[in-house]
Amino acid sequence: MSTRHLVDPELLPLLEVFPPIVLDREQLPQIRAGMEQMRAQLAAAVPEFPNVTVTEYRAPGPPDAPDVRVLVYRPAEAVPSLPALLWIHGGGYVLGSAEQDDAQLKTFVSELNCLVASVDYRLAPETPHPGPVEDCYAALKWLHANAETLGVDRQRIAIGGASAGGGLAAGLALLARDRGEVPVSFQLLIYPMLDDRTAVLADPHPFTGEFIWNHAANHFGWSALLGQPPGSPDVSPYAAAARAENLAGLPATFINTGALDLFLEEDIEYARRLTRAGVPTELHVYPGAYHGFNLVPTARVSQAFQRDILNALRRAFYG
């Protein structure tokens, strides 16, 4: 059954040009190369942000692992005591790079007068869990430890990401809470990939997951990250945050997703459970929107999506 009739008309053009994602291990290097080529082409059309600088750093990696590459976006004019966002890119745990959200991160810096550190974590299946989330934790510790040098306010360090990056951010929030080493002030979860069990539901939602990121891709991504079939017993909550039994003590949270997104129900359920645990939580569901719909920036629903994110970060940073 097609759900195309439910798609916001302003979002339909992307579906005509976005290539279907068919993932398998043998083709993954070529798929990554193709995605990087597409990212570079899109980047060429992005306007300049002369008020934003980008600097590459290397954070000490997890034990027995390489250093973690981090791209730091900041205002060109030095500003003391900046709020900061540790950003984690998406890509189903198997695709993507720290550069891929370049325009979005520059917009955050320009609009919110903040610093953004984008983590180039290792990808699955070459590096399964816990490698990716430990890379993100190493970057978070580095950001906190170097706050004075970077001009960052240690009490205003937020974490966030989109899709698999949102899933890693949610796992990272749990890890930071449980280790008690680095305070996290806020988590921004953009259509996050939170629950491996969605990949094996006996009765999946009939109106989600047709476009951009589908059930087959989801099964591949989770299998790659976990190193075992999704839905297996004893999956770590740091890999799939929806598996966490206790959500109390997590930072204030923003979650958004599309009504046609494969992650719709797991995102709504996570928001519900956060509220039940006493965590201040803001949830948005956008009608007619599939996964990654904000790639059509001119659509009114995408503009609402962007406005809601900026407003949430502004409140988190400045009250």
Q: Which of 252, 226, 228 is nearest to 237 (CA)?
A: 226
277-313 per-residue burial string, b: 16 or more CB within 10 A, e: under 16: eebebbbbebebbbbbbbebeebebbeebeeebeebb
Contacts with 26 (C-beta within 8 Å, 6 or more apart), sequence order: none
Task: Give the pLDDT score at 35.
Answer: 84
Full-model pTM = 0.97
The pLDDT value recorded for residue 230 is: 98
First-last CA distance in the chain: 45
**Amino acid at site 17:** V
Pair 200, 230: CB distance under 8 Å: yes
- Topology given in CATH for the domain delimited by 4-318: Rossmann fold (3.40.50)
pLDDT tens readout for residues 259-281? 999 999 999 999 999 999 999 99
Residue ranges of the domains in the chain? 4-318
The mean-pLDDT minimum among 17-21, 58-62, 88-92, 109-113 falls in: 17-21
pLDDT in tens, 147-168: 999 999 999 999 999 999 999 9
The answer on pLDDT for 287 being more than 80 is yes
Q: How far apart are CA 222 and CA 230, in angstroms?
A: 6
- Is residue 213's pLDDT more than 80? yes
